[in-house]
Amino acid sequence: MTVKEQIKEFKDYFDSQAERIIVDGLGLQRVGLKYRCPNTSAHSHGDKNPSMSWYKEGQCLKCFGCDTVIDLYGYYKNYKGMSHKEIMGLKGQQWGEDSALKDFEGVIVRSAEENEEKKVKPSKSFKLDTLKDFQKDYLDKRGLSDLVIDYFKLGNVKGNIGFPYILNGQITGIKLKNMSQNGPKYKSVTGSEMMLLNRDNLKPDETLYITEGEVDCLSLAEATNIFNVASIGNGAASLNKLFQAEGEYLESFKDIVVIGDHDEKGEEMNQSFHRKFGSKCKFVDYELFKGHKDINEVLLKEGPEHVKTIIASAKGRELNELDELKSTIYGNFYYSGEAIIAEVVVKKANNEEVKNIPIFSGFMTITGSIVDLDEEQGIEYLKIISYFHNIRKELLIRKAFIANENKLLETLNNSNGILIKSRNKKLMVEYLEEQFEGKLMDEKIPSIYMTKNVGFFKYRKNGLNIKTFIYPNSKMPIDKDYQYNPDEIFNEVFVHAGTMSEWIGEVYDRVKENRNAFISIVGAFASILLEPLGVPENFLIDISGSTSTGKSTLLKVTSSIYGKPSKMISDFNATSNSIISRAVALKNFPLFLDDSKKADKTIIGDVIYTLSGGKEKGRSTITGDARAIREFNNITFTNGEVAATEYLSESSSNGRGAYSRLLPLEGGFLKNSQENAEVVNKLLESVSRLYGAIGYEWIQFIYSEIQDPDKLKFWREAYESYKTDNAELLSSDIARRRGVHIALLQVTYEIMLKFNAALGCKASEDHFEKLIAMTDKDADETDNYKMAHEHLMEKFKENAYKFIKIDDETYFNEEPYNLREVWGECREDQYLVLSYETISKLIRTFGDARDILKKWKELGVMETDKNQYKKTIRIKYRDQEVRGKRYVINTKYDQAEIFEKVDSTLNPFD
């Protein structure tokens, strides 16, 4: 065996023990997962921020500041002065008995006797393999470094990430993060006993930080460099078992900071710890979570410094809150420490005495009010905090109920599980009324206003004048005094996963060079700007293309800005009323409709027309009264194999003006190829776990910007400037109207760059230039006036029998117009139409017939007398030449020059 092979065998022999031998031998100072480098001459500030880490694969300590490397062989040779032979002779020693090793932190080394004494039963079924790359990628996206992952000894268990629970050096159980798409997110290896994660490394003489979940435990260590952290094995539901097994051990800690999740289960966990360990427990300020669910979300979305701020806020919250609340009891009531007591005057004979009657075995008081703005009179709810059987609850009770004994009793007892005895209901009503009136006079009842409306919200009723923005998630209001109704469906739609920076890196950066994707994403951001920038009309962005061109994927990418794509996107096969109702409910937020092929072809045109108009159709109530027409200001996204413009020709609505309110993006998203299939798969995976965060941040930014009149004026002027520039670049009326919508996209992109520079796109200028060029070309091809003419010619050909063919030699021997439904005469290159009604009936779906005839006159499509819309023609009738006026329409659509100035006051229908 060579010397090199001997050294490798020596290092492999000690393997995991090497780190602590070197660290203890050199007396290295440990800070978190790192050590201060012993090469002091290379660190002018004494390695204040530790630079040396243990590298498991290299079996060595390495300093990234000065490149010092110390492995076990080098330690004995260079620091202990031992020869190669002496070093090789160390392999026979029992390192567990070495006094230098006994107090080392972080590596579990116990003798067989110690394990027997602790009655730990090793299990051969618990095995962890090395983490796979995809598992490391997942943990990296959760903000966890390799150092933290190694410290907690995470591993691979059949494709899942394993979190080992270790007691006295033996794995007693493994919690699994399920990496498949099926089944629960977390599960455990059969036979696992899991009490406290990181149990063997905890120090009772320090503060213990305990979280609800494993990832939160690791996130806390990652953010704060605190490693006296643990999590509970089976979440909040496992606490009774935990307390039985580890209650005495937990009592030994100096104090315990409990950090349950920011939800009902987390609150139950906090209360359970407090009931068990009393003043030893501290609790963080959940207002600092900013609506995030747990520590990992805070780390990802707010950063490590904010996690430290949360940890620093820990205090004995609940007892302090109760002390504060019970000090503000009004009327003839008081809190005994166990119950609310009513002081009741009882008359006996000629005497009066005060009798103390317990009315509630716990504590309850009013802390605020919520006004439902959607009710006609603005129904008010009271926010009540109660402590019942040591469990803290927050309740919402209609204010009217506190004056109704039976309603109050029913609400408390049946709906909220709080026991009020029937004989005490009158006293409970009196108690709550006293608290409300007293706190109201002392201005101790803050009001929150609640609504099911979303977006820019104005309310002028019941003495209120409210202007704000309602974000459709009750837990994350933009304006803290106004919140979305927690019972409404959008709470499940506008949800968040991942961070803004993750979405930009994994979604936006992958697609921004694609023009259709870039325009769609900017359009989604633009939707909430229609109202503040004064954009005159809604519009649609339609993505069309053959099958397998990524149209639905692009819709998911675009919708992920604001929420969960599967919830944000609606099918086009819904009814017309339900589609419009959703648009109304979204108000300023974009509407996403997938796959026009599934829809009823007879309604698509009408739906598009209504969506672009921004108003629902007028309808009557069941009593026959006209119902108020609801409006909405947003952008709709549609897709399909057939372009939306094709469906407009079938629309029964009076107005093909919807053409100008539609931006067509042809060609889908990506061509069908193996390479693009991989891109699509990555995008779909990304938007399945990254959504909503950037939209919420965007809305906060926009809401802040528009509060400043100067900033709002600046953006409005920028929008008007783009409108003017686009009007000069575009040639037709439809193209210029579409140019107004493009102007909104252009100014939105400017605002996006101010919001977050990472949203920059080098190809943006080219994207907009091509969109304008395409719009000009498309508008020319889909010009309403031209299409109306083509449609009219087709109808005239289909009804050729209704025209009398004439030429210069034609004679009528009898009145031809006695024939039924004669529309007029025709020549080889012209139709001579008798009535305006005939034309109007056939072209009204393309817009106002009067406007179309005026345009045709300007373009030379019609022949007219001077300052008229009809032309005098001569027909030979019974050997005589007679005159008559007709609408003379050329069969060819000739874009002739305008030789005559049109009199705008002329009425073509006289």
Q: How many residues does the chain have?
A: 910
* Averaged pLDDT for residues 314-319: 72
pLDDT in tens, 131-142: 999 999 999 999
* Averaged pLDDT for residues 374-386: 81
pLDDT at 794: 82
Judge whether residue 626 has pLDDT over 70.
Answer: no
pLDDT at 510: 94
* Averaged pLDDT for residues 303-324: 81
pLDDT at 118: 36
More confident residue, 102 or 218: 218
* Averaged pLDDT for residues 559-575: 92
More confident residue, 650 or 529: 529
CA distance 623 to 626: 9
Of 442-456, 522-536, 607-621, which gets the smallest average pLDDT?
Answer: 607-621
Mean pLDDT, the chain, rounded, equals 83
* Banded model confidence at residue 422, pLDDT cuts 50, 70, 90: confident
More confident residue, 59 or 43: 59
pLDDT at 470: 95
Judge whether residue 40 has pLDDT over 80.
Answer: no
pLDDT at 415: 58
Crossing angle for the helix pair 764-781 and 709-729, to the nearest 10 degrees: 50
pLDDT at 478: 92
pLDDT at 498: 93
* Banded model confidence at residue 831, pLDDT cuts 50, 70, 90: confident
708 burial level (CB within 10 Å; 0-12, 13-18, 19+): exposed
pLDDT in tens, 275-304: 778 788 999 999 999 889 999 999 999 999
**CB atoms inside a 10 Å sphere around CB 106:** 14
* Banded model confidence at residue 96, pLDDT cuts 50, 70, 90: very low
Of 73-77, 548-552, 697-701, which one has max mean pLDDT? 697-701
DSSP secondary structure, 462-474, as one string: TT--EEEEE-S-T
Judge whether residue 882 has pLDDT over 50.
Answer: yes
Q: Of 168, 142, 169, 153, nearest to 56 (Cα)? A: 153
E strand intervals along 567-642:
569-571, 591-594, 635-640
* Averaged pLDDT for residues 700-707: 94
Judge whether residue 101 has pLDDT over 70.
Answer: no
pLDDT at 899: 29
* Banded model confidence at residue 94, pLDDT cuts 50, 70, 90: very low
Crossing angle for the helix pair 551-559 and 674-687, to the nearest 10 degrees: 30
pLDDT at 480: 85
DSSP secondary structure, 845-894, as one string: GGS-HHHHHHHHHHHTSEE--TT-SSEEEEEEETTEEEEEEEEEEESS--
pLDDT at 756: 95
* Banded model confidence at residue 816, pLDDT cuts 50, 70, 90: low
pLDDT at 805: 85
pLDDT in tens, 258-272: 999 998 888 888 878
Share above pLDDT 90 across residues of the chain, in percent, rounded to a whole number: 37
pLDDT in tens, 164-206: 999 988 999 999 999 987 888 888 888 888 889 999 999 998 9
Judge whether residue 346 has pLDDT over 90.
Answer: no
pLDDT at 906: 37
Of 437-446, 543-552, 703-712, 736-745, which gets the smallest average pLDDT?
Answer: 437-446
CA distance 16 to 54: 10
CA distance 854 to 906: 10
**CB atoms inside a 10 Å sphere around CB 69:** 13
Judge whether residue 359 has pLDDT over 70.
Answer: yes
Q: Of 830, 821, 818, 743, nearest to 792 (Cα)? A: 830
* Banded model confidence at residue 107, pLDDT cuts 50, 70, 90: very low
More confident residue, 727 or 92: 727
pLDDT at 814: 56
Q: What is the largest CA-CA distance in the chain?
A: 137
CA of 494: how far to CAs of 488, 683, 872, in Å? 11, 20, 64
pLDDT at 820: 55
Write b or e for each residue in 868-892: b if 16 or more Cβ atoms lie within 10 A of its Cβ, otherwise e.
ebbbebebebeeeeeebebbbbbbe
* Averaged pLDDT for residues 87-94: 69
**What is the Cα Rg of the chain in Å?**
38
CA atoms within 13 A on the CB side of 832: 19
* Averaged pLDDT for residues 845-850: 74
pLDDT at 502: 95
* Banded model confidence at residue 504, pLDDT cuts 50, 70, 90: very high
Q: How far apart are the first and last CA of the chain?
A: 113
E strand intervals along 674-799:
none
Q: Of 739, 741, 886, 896, nearest to 803 (Cα)? A: 886
Judge whether residue 17 has pLDDT over 60.
Answer: yes
